[in-house]
A and B are shown apart, each in its own frame.
Chain A
Amino acid sequence: MTRILVFANQQGDSLSSGAKEALAFGRRLASSTGGEVRSVTLGPFAEAGAREAIASGASIAYTISNPLLAEYDVELFVNSIHTVFEQSGADILILSFDKIGKDLVGRLATRAGASAITEVVDYTANSDKVSWIRPIYGDKAFGEYSTTRQKVVVGIRQKSQDVNVPVETSKGEIIEVDYAPSEEMIVTKLVVKIQAALSDISLEDARIIISGGRGLGGPEGFTELQVLANLLGGTVGASRAACDAGWVPSNLQVGQTGAVVAPDLYIAVGISGASQHLAGITNAKTVVAINTDPEAPIFKRANIGVVADYKSVIQALTEKLKKVLV
């Protein structure tokens, strides 16, 4: 029987979206391996998190309710999670490979003498043997990995899992772990935290996204996209090439190393469709591509293709839709 421990990170007093995905993954894995899921939550709201984790399928929820753990600190979190990993006797530790997870997985695995596997999206299980599935080569391929050590720390790719609907009546035990992190352990000091200037609608939540790429030729093209986006109640995204060129801020980047989005409509304007970009729109419902090059790979992902210079299309499209929609 496999024993699975999930680090359920919190945002305020509720579980983060990554934590919910990690729990859902753990639950699924446990049901195929005949194992059990436990969770660990940290900080002043650890108990509320533990109850949420139990509703999501954890049978035992470890907590370290220390106020020092209110804000993320890499050393405190590594020490605390490592302690619980040891105490729980789990073989598999699952974390979201979100921004915090990117800090934690390598360190926790090294400290525990465990294997580490990141960006996991799925698994296959044969009796007790689990193989981990993750994209490789900029999302051009999938790799199936086995692990060589007894324990493994698994980082789940963000937005890759359907989350469970919590069942409030689920029963589980909450165990407060006797471990006190100390002030002296903190080495990374936060100087300032800056909220990204987000547009009214965040990319992740947008129903309609109009993204521009290098084919726009400069920042001016984005103004046109913004006009169309405003009209449709959507928001503007970009390819990495457009962000790297400084035409738009980097928080508009869609893709493997940018935002992962799932809109009803995604219009890719002057974007070639590199695999790393497509990695961000796997779950987009309808994709429209506007591109001068009929051979551009974006047309292999798009549902509707327009082979033309965007300049001749976007303005006309905006004009026409204005008449119909306004």
Chain B
Amino acid sequence: MHIVVCLKQVLDPEITPKYFKIDPDTNRPENSDTDLVLDSFAENALELAIQLRDKVPGATVTALCLGDEESEEVLRRALAFTANAAVRVWDEEWENLDGQAVGHILAQTITSLGGAQLVLTGYQASDIEEGLVGPVMAEELGIPCVTLVSELEVEENSAKATVEVEGGYAVVSVPTPAVFTIISSETNVPRLPKVKDIRLARSKPINLLESEDLNLDRECCQPGVKLERAYLLNREVACEVLPGDDGAELASELADRLLALKIL
């Protein structure tokens, strides 16, 4: 069984808002190269992929990332998680790709890798948060897609997925191959890689594919949306900080305020 997990490198979402600035010339975050990490839902997908691989004899995991050389960091992380192989796909010409273009390129990359029984990816990346790559890949590959998946069980020619639905969750069964977009749950908390595996990961090969290696549709590699302008949100309000440091007194003061405001 071949499992492909698609990973994205993103600006650290936990960056303190105070330090978050948009460069008006590029419409991108300033210093965005200083704090790059593996996207958090993609990391959940990676963890789940490794868990599934370990349950199925003979299964392999290929970590796949569309990105420049810098993004090999996330593939090294995947290798440290004990992914079997790592593939990076990139072309200098690719600029400002959107989720649809990325979905097209990743789908073609998976095809050129000989396909996969399971394709896993984060449900949306924490930078632009489009949530399009999974469904677009599925449409391109002509296979089913299950979104918002927290748990996954594989059978011979199908998979059972636990998914978030309105008002609760559901378990669905789909024939494989299929695409799954993953959310965080108690069962896919990313592992802490072993020191030995981190060391081994440094020397493992990363296979590079470029556009001429793939059967791409030029039109589909063009982004369908263009970011014209980005600006910061300012939702700051004037906060009245209650004076003092005695918890009980503060509590009493707070209660009085809330009662005076007629909220309670």
Residues in chain A within 8 A of chain B (CB atoms): 11, 16, 74-75, 97-100, 102-107, 109-111, 114-119, 131-132, 135-149, 152, 187-196, 208, 232, 240, 244, 246, 250-251, 256-257, 264-265, 274-276, 278, 282, 285-289, 294, 297, 299-309, 311-317, 319-321, 324-325
Contacts and interface: CB of A to CB of B under 8 A. Distances in A.
B169 to A, nearest CB: 6
Given A187-B174, A244-B184, A303 B239 contact: yes
B223 interface: yes
Contacts of B134: 106
B183 to A, nearest CB: 7
Contacts of B16: 297
B172 A190 contact: yes
Contacts of B233: 135, 139-142
Contacts of A190: 170-172
Contact of B228 (A131, A139, A324): A131
Given A107-B145, A140-B20, A145-B226, 20 more contacts: A102-B147, A109-B224, A115-B225, A116-B130, A116-B132, A118-B132, A140-B17, A148-B223, A191-B173, A192-B170, A193-B169, A208-B263, A232-B264, A244-B184, A276-B13, A288-B258, A301-B239, A306-B254, A312-B250, A317-B251
A148 B242 contact: no
Contact of B144 (A74, A282, A286, A304): A74
B192 interface: no
Nearest to B257: A304
Contact of A106 (B103, B183, B245): B103
Contacts of A300: 17, 235-237, 239
A144 B20 contact: no
17 contacts: A107-B145, A110-B136, A110-B140, A114-B224, A116-B132, A137-B29, A138-B13, A143-B229, A149-B224, A187-B144, A188-B172, A189-B173, A189-B174, A192-B170, A276-B13, A304-B257, A316-B252
Interface size class of B (residues with CB under 8 A): 35 or more
Interface stretch (B48-56, B77-85, B120-128, B203-211): B120-128
A12 to B, nearest CB: 12
A288 B230 CA distance: 30
Given A109-B100, A276-B13, A312-B248, A147 B254 contact: no
Given A98-B166, A304-B254, A107 B231 contact: no
Contact of A308 (B148, B164, B175, B250): B250
B251 A320 contact: yes
A144 B228 CA distance: 6
- Of B128, B170, B254, the most chain A CB neighbours within 10 A belong to B254
A274 B174 contact: no
A82 to B, nearest CB: 11
Nearest to B252: A320
Contacts of B225: 115-117, 132, 145-148
A240 B164 CA distance: 16
B248 A316 contact: yes
A136 B255 contact: no
Contacts of B139: 106-107, 110-111
Contacts of A320: 251-252, 255
A187 B160 CA distance: 12
Contacts of B170: 190-194
